[in-house]
Amino acid sequence: MDALDCRLVNLLQDGIDITAQPYMAVAGQLGISEEQVVQRVGQLLDDGYLSRFGPMYDAEKMGGAFSLCAMQIPADELEKTAETVNAFDEVAHNYLREHALNMWFVIATEHADHLPVVLQQIEQKTGYPVYNMPKLEEYYIGLRFEAGATQ
Amino acid sequence: MVLNDSDRQLIAAIQGGLPMVARPYAAIGQQLGLDESAVLARVAELQESGLIKRMGVVVRHRALGYSANAMVVWDVPDADIERIGRLLADESCVTLCYQRPRRLPHWPYNLFCMIHGRERDSVLRRISQIVAFHSLEDIQHQVLFSPRAFKQRGARYAELDKLQPESRSLHGRT
């Protein structure tokens, strides 16, 4: 990523307006052509710096559900269990964490009543209990990563 | 907002990402048999209603160098959780802050925040500063770093994919 890519990523994280040519405004801000924006974003996607360029849906407003879940998996079962858990389309992220509860994943389902079903299926397929910890209250959400900055 | 089938097809068509072309909504419209202005109007409505929180990029933070990813969890007395939740949320390094249920006896923590940094040491230093500055010494906390991501991508709505099976070919990068 060069300096221009970093500026591009930082601008695009703030969100873009919904217009027929959405990359035009960003191109203007960066002093490059619309075509260059399209090309650079495509490259950043291909190179794996970005996972996607598109809408962030509000799972709950869509009638769905979203939750953070944890499991306690023995070290020698981690790979196999991660594969089983990741195979569920509803699992968005899955992280190894340093704790007795060592597998933490986020689940999103289109219908709220489908979430407990998925949790049950995960328990059945892995043979381990799932601790479901849905959010009760949100104090802040501003997930954003400054590209190129030192912290 | 009530979603009809056409909305659901639209949601499914763009969930993996917009096509990387100058006029992405025209391309989506072509796929769905709608004209560009109809797609734009509906996407704008979805955003106004809050169903789309934002149109933008999702970064892979590890690829950007944010490899120290700490989930900091706190066991806060219930009566105090709102005050402390807001206080942590105001810290610039905190990217998410949620109250979640305890799962006793396995899990006593009810306040979760995420702190991302490039190195563990700097993240730990920030946490110590936060504890000292806000006098949080009496509140049990734990820092759970993540040495590895097993999976990292946005949520997909599988059922919507079934509605729009050809949508993957347009973006195919997820």
CATH of the domain at A128: 3.30.70.3460
Residue A137 above 70 pLDDT?
A: yes
Residue B159 above 70 pLDDT?
A: no
The tens digit of pLDDT for each residue in B12-67 reads: 999 889 999 999 999 999 999 999 999 999 999 999 999 998 898 888 888 888 88
Let me know whether A24 and A78 are in one domain: no
Let me know whether A12 and A70 are in one domain: no
Residue B9 above 50 pLDDT?
A: yes
Nearest to B36 among A20, A55, A82 (CB): A20
Let me know whether A69 and A128 are in one domain: yes
pLDDT in the model for residue A142: 57
Count each helix (H run) and each strand (E run) in chain B, helices first: 7, 6
Chain A partners within 8 Å of B142 (Cβ): 99
Let me know whether A42 and A71 are in one domain: no
Asked whether residue A146 is assigned to any structural domain, the reply reads no
Cα gap B73→B96, rounded to integer Å: 12
Instruction: Report how many domains make up chain A.
Output: 2
Q: Span B5-58: which CATH code?
A: 1.10.10.10
Give the mean model confidence (pLDDT) for residues A84-98.
94
The tens digit of pLDDT for each residue in B79-105 reads: 999 999 999 998 888 888 999 999 999
pLDDT in the model for residue A151: 37
Asked whether residue A145 is assigned to any structural domain, the reply reads no
In this structure, chain A runs to a length of: 151
Cα gap B78→B85, rounded to integer Å: 11
Asked whether residue A104 is assigned to any structural domain, the reply reads yes
**Residue A91 tokens, joined:** 């699992």
Residue in chain B closest to A106 (alpha carbons) equals B155
Asked whether residue A20 is assigned to any structural domain, the reply reads yes
B158 vs A49: which has the higher pLDDT: A49
Cα gap A51→B20, rounded to integer Å: 13
Asked whether residue A142 is assigned to any structural domain, the reply reads no
Chain A partners within 8 Å of B93 (Cβ): 151
Q: Is B114 on the interface with A (CB under 8 A)?
A: yes
Residue A93 above 70 pLDDT?
A: yes
pLDDT in the model for residue B105: 92
To the nearest whole number, what is the mean pLDDT of chain B?
86
Q: Cβ neighbours of residue A66 under 8 Å, at least 6 residues apart?
A: A59, A60, A106, A107, A108, A134, A135, B155
Let me know whether A70 and A42 are in one domain: no
Give the mean model confidence (pLDDT) for residues A87-98.
93
* Dihedral Cα A105, A109, A114, A116, nearest 10 deg: 20
Cα gap B162→A109, rounded to integer Å: 14
Shortest Cα–Cα distance, B48 to chain A (Å): 11
Let me know whether A14 and A74 are in one domain: no
pLDDT in the model for residue A144: 62
Residue B174 above 70 pLDDT?
A: no
Topology (CATH level 3) of domain B68-145: Alpha-Beta Plaits (3.30.70)
Nearest to B158 among A62, A90, A93 (CB): A90
Q: How confident is the model at residue A75 (pLDDT cuts 50, 70, 90)?
A: very high
Residue A150 above 70 pLDDT?
A: no
Residue B117, CB-side half-sphere exposure with 13 Å CA sphere: 18
Give start-end residues of each CATH 1.10.10.10 domain in chain B.
Answer: 5-58
In A, residues 29-68, which contact B (CB 8 Å cutoff)? 34-35, 38, 41-42, 45-59, 61-64, 66, 68
Let me know whether A69 and A129 are in one domain: yes
Asked whether residue A140 is assigned to any structural domain, the reply reads no
Let me know whether A19 and A73 are in one domain: no
Give start-end residues of each CATH 3.30.70.3460 domain in chain B.
Answer: 68-145
Asked whether residue A24 is assigned to any structural domain, the reply reads yes
Highest mean pLDDT among A73-77, A92-96, B7-11, B55-59: A73-77
Q: Which domain holds residue A72?
A: 65-133
Judged by CB atoms closer than 8 Å, whether chains meet at A49 and B64 is answered as yes
Chain A partners within 8 Å of B30 (Cβ): none
